[in-house]
Amino acid sequence: MPELVDGLDSKSSALGHVGSSPTAPTALMGTYQRFPVSFVEGKGCWLTDQKGERYLDAVAGIATCSLGHSDQALKKALSTQLGKIQHVSNLYEIGEQEELAQWLVQNSCASNVFFCNSGAEANEGAIKLARKYGRIRKGIQNPIILCAKNSFHGRTLAAISATGQPKYQEGFEPLLVGFNFFEFNDLNSFNNTFNQLKDKKNNVVAIFIEPLQGEGGIKPGEAHFFQYLRKLCNQMNILLILDEVQTGMGRTGKLWGYQQLGIEPDIFTLAKGLGGGHAIGALLSNDKGNIFKPGDHASTFGGNPFACTAGLTVAKEIDRRNLTENAMQRGKELQKGLQSLIDIFPDQLEQTRGWGLIQGLVFKEVSTITPGEVVNAALEEKLLLISAGKDVIRIVPPLIINKIEINEIISRLKATLKKLI
């Protein structure tokens, strides 16, 4: 299977135009191999392309457009905000930022928030924070952060250094030092990694992990594993940092992924779903992790009035429309539908995995079709999907999706699989 771009397969031959764009030669850098389709309009869970064809969107900007496309409340709030004030520096008080931070701390285990623009940037902040925590609280000069294999934390240098997948690192060395890796959900592997540090064990400042591995293949964390990490962090007085960039803001059927695991982190990061499609990221901490002083960290655009209005509107709509509960209920229906496909194609499909509206359909190792081929073929059925890892199809529709649309995802996916098998 071809190289992955954040879960987006490079185009296989199924569509017959590997790497080429449907339009003119591009002035863009070659970072993405794109599908030969361009969307010009969206409404709810549906996107319309240049030819007027409608697609059912189970990608949602990769778990980003929580309220779907062209949401009325978002449109209204952002239009008003555009006419009021769009950007001011963090040199000045920003009411919209205060308000969104208030909502976040009132609805989570965090006590303080720093705003930035993306998931990678939020994770950069978390890594800096963990190092500083080790320095000022424990006098550690050579900090170590323990991370999971097969993880994904973004594309900046610190984020790829913390990402336990060589394919994201190769060619960009030297990476940052001070990251050691263990197998996700595997206590033995964790203890081996930890014990191999020997006298450097006391240099560990944090454990940094996704509650559910998204890009790595929709692998939910196991409660006993995370509870063990929580206990260890308490004992050692180090930070438990969760990357909730993909799982946060209601996607899993709970507001935060950590609620699925019966633990609370010291630090967690958000981005994807927070702005409903607009660029905003956040680094959240409890009192223990609230150590940044003026000058330690900053972001020019981070938390500007426009981005925070987007975040605040998403937050209010999640509350008003009970979207976390909707993610839970629709997620159950989605999982049931995917199971029905496994029953129809037992030689190809292995299992479903996930929480709420982040679900994975796992292919068998012996399968004659790849997730990449299915994603390509689904495009012809006017269904947007992405893969995760090398053997999983990821389904992350808007949180506003209804039961009829869930059934429609299943029926289009079934038609796609029938064509290929």
Ligand X SMILES: *Cc1c(COP(=O)(O)O)cnc(C)c1O
What are the residues binding ligand X (CB under 6 A)? 118-120, 123, 152-154, 210, 214-215, 243, 245-246, 271-272
- CB-wise, 44 or 273, nearer to ligand X? 273
Nearest-approach distance from CB 212 to ligand X, in angstroms: 9
- Which residues make Cβ contacts (< 8 Å) with residue 282, sequence separation at least 6? 104, 113, 114, 115, 116, 122, 269, 270, 271, 274, 311
We find the least distance from the C-beta atom of residue 377 to ligand X, in angstroms, to be: 25
- In degrees and rounded to multiples of 5, residue 337 shows phi and psi of -60, -40
- Shortest Cβ 195–ligand X spacing (Å): 27
Of the pair 243, 266, the CB lying nearest ligand X is at: 243
Q: Output 78 or 280, the one with its CB closest to ligand X.
A: 280
Question: Least CB distance from residue 64 to ligand X, whole Å?
Answer: 8
β-bridge mates for residue 284, sequence order: 113, 268
Amino acid at 105: V
CB of 174 to ligand X, least distance (A): 21
* Token pair 């591009």: residue: 26
Between 336 and 390, name the residue whose CB sits nearer to ligand X. 390
Question: Minimum CB separation from ligand X for residue 273, in Å?
Answer: 10
| Residue 81 CB-half CA count within 13 A | 23
Q: How far is the CB of 385 from ligand X (least distance, A)?
A: 16
Tell me 267's DSSP state: E
Q: Measure Cα distances from 124 to 176, 188, 278, 338 in Å.
A: 12, 28, 19, 36
Q: Specify the residue, 153 or 353, whose C-beta has the smaller distance to ligand X.
A: 153
- Host H or E run for residue 242: strand 239-243
CB of 403 to ligand X, least distance (A): 27
β 144-148/204-209 pair status? parallel
User: Smaller CB distance to ligand X: residue 47 or 271?
Assistant: 271
CB of 243 closer than 8 Å to CB of 216: no
What tokens appear for 371 in the block? 């997730």
For the bound state, the minimum distance from the C-beta of residue 12 to ligand X, rounded and expressed in Å, comes to: 23
Least distance to ligand X from the beta carbon of 314, Å? 15
Q: Which residue is nearest to ligand X (CB)?
A: 119
Helix (H) or strand (E) holding 228: helix 223-236
Q: Residue 154's Cα: distance from chain center in Å?
A: 9
**Closer by beta carbon to ligand X, 251 or else 412:** 251
Q: Between 222 and 319, whose beta carbon lies closer to ligand X?
A: 222
| Residue 108 or 416 with smaller CB distance to ligand X | 108
Sheet containing 239-243, strands listed edge to edge, beginning at the edge strand earlier in sequence = 112-116, 281-285, 267-270, 239-243, 204-209, 144-148, 179-182
| Closer by beta carbon to ligand X, 46 or else 268 | 268
CB-count burial class (<10 Å; 0-12, 13-18, 19+) for 320: exposed
Are 134 and 234 in contact by the 8 Å Cβ rule? The answer is no
Query: Could you say which DSSP state residue 260 is in?
Result: G
